Structure formats: C-alpha cells, structure tokens
Amino acid sequence: MNFIRRKKLLIEAISASLLAGEEILKVYQSEDFEIQLKSDNTPLTIADQRAHNAIVSVIENLGIPILSEEGEHLNYEERQKWEQCWIVDPLDGTKEFIKRNDEFTVNIALVIKETPVVGVIYVPVYEQLYFADMELGAYRVDKIRDWDKDLDALVQKAHKLPLAQNRNETLIVGSRSHMNEETKQFIENWKQDKKEVKLISKGSSLKLCMIAENGADVYPRFGPIMEWDTAAGHAIVKASGGKVLQYNTNIELKYNKKDLMNPSFICTR
C-alpha cells in the first residue's frame, strides 16, 4: 500500500476517532454508564458500544476488514486471509472511564501483514490527538477542533514526536489498573541497575503515548493485554523511533494472530 493511500486512510481514522470521542463524552457526562460484565468479567459500558458504532460508520466502506474489541471476531481461518485490517479499541481504559479519572482513549490502527503502519489515539476529555504513519512520522495535537480533513494543515500545527526532554532519571510507566508482581520485580531490577528510577502510573494506551513523546523511557507489560490495546500505540511508538518488542527478544509484537492476546513485552525509546 502506497503512502498516498495510507494518508487517505489516516484521515478517515482520525475522523472516526473524533466521532467516537463525541459519543464517549455524551455518556461520560451523563449519570448512568449502563455498566455490564463481558464473559471475561471485564466491564462494558454503553459508551464502548456507541464508540464502536461510530467508528464502524466511518471506516466500514473503505474495503478493509475491521477487528474491533466490541465487534464480531471471525475465526482465524478467515482472518489469516487478510493482508490488511483495522484493529480498533473503541474505548480503551473502560475501568478508568468508570472511575472518572479521564485516562481513557480511542485506539485505531491499520495493520498490514501483521505490522501496524498507521495509528490514531484520541483522548476525548482533553481533545488530544496522537497520530502516525510509518513514513509521515508521529505527531501530537493538544487541542483538535473543527477537523476539516486537511492532514497537511494538521501536521503543521502538531508537535512532532519524540519531544526533546532533559532529565537525569529513568522514567518507567506502568498500568494504573493492572500492576502485577512480575512488573514490580522488573521495576526493582531496573532500580538496582540505574541510579535514579521513577515510576509513573497511567491508564489505557496513554502509556504507549508517553513512550512515543519521550515522556517516559520504559513501559514493561507482563500479563493479559489484547492486540487492540496496543496496535495503535505500537504504530505511534514505532513512527517516533521507539520499539515494542516481545520480552527478552528482538521480535516485534505481531497482529491479527491466531491468539489475539499479546505476549509480555517491553516498550522503549
């Protein structure tokens, strides 16, 4: 797929993320989230479903299959025929949404041959947009309003990632809701090897965004995390010059696998 085609798809992905963000905020600012539990005991709100519908309404006619957390998951025999697909999490950080701590996102990635090449992450409460293409690079816009589908104009007013930082300490970012013993041990090992280490807790794909923008140095993830949680952030990190590698290997995370759960990984600058 050439750059011109990917730019057009990136424009549509940005539009879809903003529309989903509007639907999420309508629910977030209401009194009742209509919380349910899915089969794996993870929470689901009406906002997840409305965001999914909003995204699908924009991208479903682009000729690329969609793998969404809230959509129908075809069996691998069908999915393995896909050379490209969208991987979507309409509301990443549902637990943070329910806690009302604002740390939730919309994640949309374009994956080609198991590799994320376009990524969009939108933070509805802050109107903050992260977007990337493997040739265009990675960017952050702090207040996106009146989107007119002019990607070149958006790039002109965006911050190119990574941002310049001057710090003496190593910053490790970890999950606000999913800290486990393996992660704690990894952090302790780093503290023994480095002079100064500080831990930051963040929800949703914001951890990957922090690595992409150089707001943190390392994001270790041990424990369950699905492809739609990482695909968009992976694309943004990679376009910013960072890495998302399976733990103790030099192998990148792959997508649209038979098992949609990711292995343990380390994301670094």
Q: Which of 107, 128, 161 is the last residue before a domain boundary? A: 161
CATH number for the domain spanning 80: value is 3.30.540.10
Query: Do 174 and 102 fall within a single domain?
Result: no
253 is in an annotated binding site: no
Long-range contacts of 97-103 (CB under 8 A, 24+ apart): 97/24, 97/28, 97/33, 97/45, 97/47, 98/33, 98/35, 98/43, 98/45, 100/28, 101/176, 101/203, 102/126, 103/176, 103/202, 103/203, 103/204, 103/206
Q: Which of 161, 182, 211 is the last residue before a domain boundary? A: 161
Query: Do 11 and 144 fall within a single domain?
Result: yes
The residues with which 200 forms a beta bridge, in sequence order, are 173
So what's the pLDDT on residue 269? 87
229 is in an annotated binding site: yes
Query: Do 218 and 106 fall within a single domain?
Result: no
SS3 40: coil
Query: Do 151 and 186 fall within a single domain?
Result: no
94 is in an annotated binding site: yes
Query: Do 145 and 12 fall within a single domain?
Result: yes
Q: Which of 161, 196, 222 is the last residue before a domain boundary? A: 161
So what's the pLDDT on residue 175? 81
Element of type H or E holding 87: strand 84-92
CATH number for the domain spanning 261: value is 3.40.190.80
92 is in an annotated binding site: yes
So what's the pLDDT on residue 181? 83
User: What is the span of the domain harbouring residue 40?
Assistant: 3-161
Query: Do 94 and 214 fall within a single domain?
Result: no
Query: Do 155 and 175 fall within a single domain?
Result: no
Query: Do 115 and 208 fall within a single domain?
Result: no
Query: Do 177 and 202 fall within a single domain?
Result: yes
Average pLDDT, the chain: 93
115 is in an annotated binding site: no
Query: Do 138 and 259 fall within a single domain?
Result: no
pLDDT in tens, 101-114: 999 999 999 999 99
Query: Do 105 and 154 fall within a single domain?
Result: yes
48 is in an annotated binding site: no
So what's the pLDDT on residue 57? 98
pLDDT in tens, 175-221: 876 677 888 888 888 777 767 888 899 999 999 999 999 999 999 99
Query: Do 136 and 251 fall within a single domain?
Result: no
So what's the pLDDT on residue 38? 73
CB 17 within 8 A of CB 9: no
Q: Low-confidence residues of the chain, pLDDT below 70?
A: 37, 39-41, 177-178, 194
Of all residues in the chain, the percent with pLDDT exceeding 70 is 97
174 is in an annotated binding site: no
Domain count along the chain: 2
